[in-house]
């Protein structure tokens, strides 16, 4: 009644657990909803039925009831709620990095964590053209050739301190 939640009730086991949490076991024997295919065929009807039930109580009540029955569920958060969530911090989903022009900024961390090959976000996003010279040098271009390409407008090579072009010797 007071917010959105997401519920993983698609398989038969979780469907029945969800109905139990909702106090709606009569829907388990409704011919329109017996199998997953039946439920998909009658999706509009089931959405209306479930929405009416979920509106009867606050989100926190339903989350607790569903979790108690083992149904995967969670709140649908807005951006500020997601950023304030303890799990966001525990999973290092927001990290501070140094940005070329902005200084210390918050950015998204890695969404997937691997125990044997952990990764990390080390820097902020590059500014436009920030790595042009380094990449061209790796491919054998000289500073003079890079300067000529920049002068012709073929490449953009930004200075580390901002978008101003840095002259090469």
CA atoms within 13 A on the CB side of 114: 5
Angle at 157 between CA 153 and CA 160, to 5 degrees: 155
Distance between CA 143 and CA 127 in Å, rounded?
Answer: 20
Inter-residue contact 114 to 91 (CB < 8 Å): no
Does residue 155 carry a pLDDT above 90?
yes
For residues 134, 136, 141, 145, the Cα torsion angle rounded to the nearest 10 degrees is -100
pLDDT digit string, tens, across residues 58-109: 999 999 999 999 999 999 999 999 989 999 989 999 999 999 889 999 999 9
pLDDT score recorded for residue 160: 52
Distance between CA 70 and CA 77 in Å, rounded?
Answer: 21
Q: The tokens 């920030």 sit on which residue?
A: 130
In order of 21, 75, 79, the CA distances from 111 in angstroms are 31, 19, 16
Angle, nearest 10°, between helix axes 43-54 and 12-22? 40
pLDDT score recorded for residue 163: 40
């Amino acid at each position: 009644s007071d917010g959105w939640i997401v519920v993983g009730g698609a398989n038969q086991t979780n469907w029945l657990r969800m109905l139990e949490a909702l106090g709606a076991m009569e829907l388990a024997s409704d011919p329109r909803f017996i199998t997953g295919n039946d439920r998909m065929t009658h999706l509009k009807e089931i959405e209306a039925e479930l929405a009416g039930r979920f509106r009867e109580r606050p989100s926190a009540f339903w989350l607790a009831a569903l979790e108690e029955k083992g149904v995967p569920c969670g709140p649908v958060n807005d951006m500020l709620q997601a950023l304030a969530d303890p799990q966001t911090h525990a999973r290092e989903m927001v990290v501070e990095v140094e940005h070329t022009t902005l200084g210390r900024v918050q950015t998204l961390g890695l969404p997937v964590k691997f125990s044997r090959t952990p990764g990390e976000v080390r820097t902020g996003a590059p500014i436009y053209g920030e790595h042009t010279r380094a990449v061209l040098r790796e491919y054998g271009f000289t500073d003079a050739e890079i300067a000529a390409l920049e002068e012709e407008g073929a490449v953009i090579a930004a200075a580390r301190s901002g978008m101003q072009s840095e002259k090469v010797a």
